[in-house]
Structure 1
């Protein structure tokens, strides 16, 4: 049986934010590599498909090359050191972002933040409703493009008219969405049935503290 270990989304976000802030101010190749390795281990433990990780790295390669060449060719001081620091930092940010986006669904993330930090119901369910409309937005863009082609007009992805028409369509959806939420008993500012709060997972908190201390030890030693 393959290994599988998932952290609570709120704790994961806290750790990612703390580590991201630290590497923003601390110039450490070892610290960046430590975060990359820990992040990759977590992705593999959560059985994230290897193809997704490889595509993520391939897509970011031009950015990494641009960062490296900029500091190598036009930087000041130790060119190799600066290029290595900022390139590994880019990959560290990339992997930390993937740790959240590839292992947690938006619904699970928002609902967990709602339970732990008492986020507004209006905010949480509004974001979820907007995310659920993404597929309809893509479909509407295709319809607008096809309708324009019938009139001999071609809308490209960078055409402002395309997005103006999409925004106008979304405005109609907003009214329909509001009516739908009210019909399901959602009223802004009124109490709702909530999931019973559970105690914080002490084992996970302890593990994250250990990882954070190890990360800071690497920063200190480097």
Structure 2
């Protein structure tokens, strides 16, 4: 009688989730245990390979091309380019709503603070806002959401030299939320009613 493998993964962060998925793909009976909610819910949602070198050079255009030039002790040099590619292919299989796998080049994604971040994978919802897109951009913030200042972010993007005109505007949130509510509350309401008007 065959003995089924059992795997218990402790931690719901990126490493824990990836380990659990890999074990399940290999046929193991897998359980993941996480304390409270993972901090991933508050992360940017961007998945980097190599945006800048350890010396601060960058942004790196092709992270895979840059790996052989990294210091010998760097983890990517240790595992090698092919292993990094395999890891990203694994991610692409399990995260079909992400984009970026069509090219080895990093995408330049504006952040909520108004900087431009080189990243290898980004949510499909961010595709229209890439810094390489030359269409004009309007950043919209909500009065009761102090975590994001649209005018501030727009000014930072302009100073970063993006190839488009960018402006910021702050509007009332179309729902009953008190000031300082968690950003996930806003996202949940917009997901439930994405056509709500912010006029």
TM category, shorter: under 0.3
Q: TM-score, length-normalised on structure 2?
A: 0.26
Between structures 1 and 2, the one with greater helix share = 1
Which one has a larger percent strand, Structure 1 or Structure 2? 2
* Higher RCO (CA 8 Å, separation ≥ 6 residues): 1
